Chains A and B, each alone.
Chain A
């Protein structure tokens, strides 16, 4: 038990002093995962509405693929992206392996299916007549899409929460394609992993607490928005 209490005490001290470049790591984590979530939102809404609104052969297959994508193991994603971006790999010329950009790509691959799945489900749950009704009232395609997405904004917020949560808590892919380079690609999860592997529990606990608080805050804000909208 001492290990935990000591760790917590040490964690508070670290957070106060700003030792160990904690805040730099936190800011990088938010930036990388935030960017990945934003890109995923764009892809997810586009693909999700295409799947939800159009009848085409293989639509069920598309749904299954998206649902499978929602549970992609980050390590596998990391491996795949690492191979692609490896210096001798197909996209090696880009020279982005072990950069935050590579991490954004990996997290987007993890996050986009989650957002797509949530979006498709949200749009499918809308009134089946809503689109025809909007067209019948004189909506253009763009107006229809805007109104329908606005109508589904509560489940779409859930998609953002789930997507961001998935991206920021993921460790395997970031480690593999980012390399956990101090001051460059180290994020909270990879830092925790490193500290624990070195037997330094205190900084690991400190980062874990910050990570949990961060996820909690994001969810608190979005849930508050949801509740206000629902009224």
Chain B
């Protein structure tokens, strides 16, 4: 049983008359990456600042390693590091900025230099060490922001939408580097985001936050595959998400093992043996009655299974086929009637290799 590093008990945060956060119970486990995902204004940032001991809760307790924290304790804050969306650099060299957390902790100069060098190198900004922090690009500043948090070697790392202000290519690069750094250090991490890809990429566990409350908590597959209610479903997107592994690569196609089934996808730079999350939109899945031999579509993937559930959804119907894992398809009511399918029937679910989206799993 893994110990809780940081916990919230009956925490409420009010500002004026509005309640921003109401979390009866939350544990951040030692060594995990907990992603708090939710729409804007859900109270995610307030929750993070509460965990970071930057603001006290109106009611309830923050627990650090099981011990209730009173006030904003400097000693505990110094065992953590926070990264915000905006890097808020000081008018100094980039290296001085990266060294800031260490200086505040009174770390000796020799150790400081070595750590700053190592982490700037790690995030690919060592060549900018002597540049003024106010003259670097947004992506470079955010790299420095991550480097200065890692440089203090925190026990808990708290990140508040660190990539939201960046363009897509920069964001992808940084996500990759952050994922590697998290894997390497094994630091207990809370990552706040509204981005599903970031959540799937980094999170060991996900907490879906809406209206100040945590609505669902679980692994990425659990949350995305089985949202607890419509609101959560609407936010995470109704999508097939299955854990798998890359078996082989050939001609730009990746062959994936998916709990018994084999699926082909367009290889978007994965490597053999890599653990991945396979994402597939239900509207990209075509359903046919089972038993037919020739499939007259261009789809590369044909999975056989029995229909386990049919749920009407407005003009469309949600069909779940057990292909070794539950695969959700969204088809029109008319198609379902034409095909004459019902629960228990054998069916073939088809989809294109290009419809499969792979997310490498960091840890």
- The residue of chain A having its C-beta at the shortest distance from the C-beta of B77 within the complex is A138
Tell me, yes or no, whether B74 is within 8 Å of chain A by CB.
Answer: yes
Which B38-95 residues sit within 8 Å CB-CB of chain A? 49, 52, 54, 72, 74, 77-78, 80-84, 86-91
- Closest residue to B91 on the A side, CB-wise? A151
A133 and B104 within 8 A (CB): no
B91–A133 touching, CB < 8 Å: no
Chain B residues, CB < 8 A from A138 = 74, 77-78, 80-81, 101, 104-105, 152
Q: How far is the CA of A135 from the CA of B71 in the complex (A)?
A: 14
Q: Interface residues of A: mostly helix, strand, loop or mixed? A: helix
Looking at the assembled complex, report how far the CB atom of B159 sits from the nearest CB atom of chain A, in whole angstroms.
10
Find chain A residues with CB under 8 A from B87 CB: 133
**Given that A132-B49, A132-B54, A143-B104 are contacting pairs, would A137 and B81 also be in contact in the complex, using a CB cutoff of 8 Å?**
yes
Scoring A130, A134, A139 by chain B CB atoms within 10 A of each residue's CB, the highest score goes to A139
Decide: B74 and A133 in contact? CB cutoff 8 A: no
**Distance of A138 Cα from B158 Cα, bound (Å):** 13
Range for the number of chain B residues in contact with chain A: 20 to 34
Distance to closest chain A CB from B98 (angstroms): 10
Given contact pairs A147-B90, A151-B90, A151-B91, A129 touches B152 in the complex (Cβ within 8 A): no
* B54-A136 in contact (CB<8A): yes
Interface residues of A in 115-134 (CB under 8 A from B): 127, 129-130, 132-134
A136 touches B81 (CB 8 A): yes
Instruction: Assess the B54–A137 pair: CB atoms within 8 A.
Output: no
Known interface pairs A132-B49, A151-B90. Does A137 touch B84 (Cβ–Cβ under 8 Å)? Answer: no
**Does A21 reach chain B (CB closer than 8 Å)?**
no
Docked-complex contact B52 and A137, CB < 8 angstroms: no
A110 to B72, CA, bound (A): 38
- List A contacts of B158 (CB < 8 A): 136
Q: Which of A127, A129, A136, A140 has the most CB of B within 10 A?
A: A136
Is B304 engaged at the interface, CB distance under 8 Å to the other chain?
no
Closest to A135 in B: B54
Known interface pairs A129-B84, A143-B104; A135-B90 also in contact (CB < 8 Å):
no
Interface 1/0s, chain A 137-158, versus B by CB < 8 A? 1111001000100010000000
**Which A-chain residue is minimally distant from B79 (CB atoms)?**
A138
CA distance A140 to B77 in the complex (A): 9
Known contacts A138-B74, A138-B78; decide if A129 and B104 are in contact (CB<8 Å).
no
Q: Cβ of A127 and Cβ of B86 under 8 Å apart? A: yes
* A139 CA to B152 CA, complexed, in Å: 12
How far, in Å, is B37 (CB) from chain A's closest CB?
A: 21
Q: Which of A130, A137, A140 is most buried by chain B, counting CB atoms within 10 A of its CB?
A: A137
The answer on a CB contact under 8 Å between B88 and A127 is yes
Indicate if the CB atoms of B86 and A137 lie closer than 8 Å: no
- Are B86 and A129 touching (Cβ within 8 A)? yes
Q: Is B310 an interface residue (CB 8 A)?
A: no
Min CB distance A155 to B, Å, is 12
Q: How far is the CA of A136 from the CA of B148 in the complex (A)?
A: 11
Nearest-neighbor residue (CB-CB) of A138 within chain B: B78
* Structural contact, B100 and A137, CB atoms closer than 8 A: yes
Contacts of A143 in B (CB 8 A): 104
CA distance A137 to B147 in the complex (A): 12
Complex Cα–Cα for A142 and B49 (A): 20
Are A136 and B104 in contact, CB atoms less than 8 angstroms apart?
Answer: no
Q: When the two chains form the complex, which single residue of B77, B84, B105 contacts A133, counting CB atoms closer than 8 Å? A: B84
Q: Across the two chains, which residue of chain A brings its CB closest to B82?
A: A136
Distance (whole angstroms) from the CB of A120 to the closest CB of chain B: 19
Is the Cβ of A139 less than 8 Å from the Cβ of B104? yes
Q: Binary interface profile of A, 147-174, with partner B (CB < 8 Å = 1, else 0)?
A: 1000100000000000000000000000
Which residues on B sit within 8 Å (CB–CB) of A147?
A: 90
Give chain B nearest CB distance to A108 CB in angstroms: 30
* Residues of chain A lying within 8 A (CB to CB) of residue B149: 137
A147 to B91, CA, bound (A): 10
Say whether A136 contacts B52, CB under 8 Å: yes
> How distant is the Cα of A139 from the Cα of B77 in the complex, in angstroms?
9
> Is the pair A130, B105 in contact by a Cβ cutoff of 8 Å?
no
Q: Is the CB of B148 within 8 A of A137?
A: yes
A130 CA / B91 CA spacing, docked (Å) = 11
Minimal Cβ-Cβ distance residue in B for A144 = B104
Q: Nearest chain-B residue to A130 (Cβ)?
A: B88
8 A-B pairs with least C-beta separation = A136-B82, A137-B101, A138-B78, A133-B88, A129-B88, A127-B88, A130-B88, A138-B104
Q: A130-B88, A134-B104, A137-B104 are in contact. List 10 more A-B contacts (CB 8 A).
A: A127-B88, A129-B86, A130-B90, A132-B88, A133-B84, A133-B88, A135-B54, A135-B82, A137-B152, A138-B77
Would you give 12 A-B contacts (Cβ < 8 Å), ordered by A?
A127-B89, A129-B88, A130-B90, A134-B104, A135-B54, A135-B77, A137-B148, A138-B77, A138-B78, A138-B81, A138-B104, A143-B104
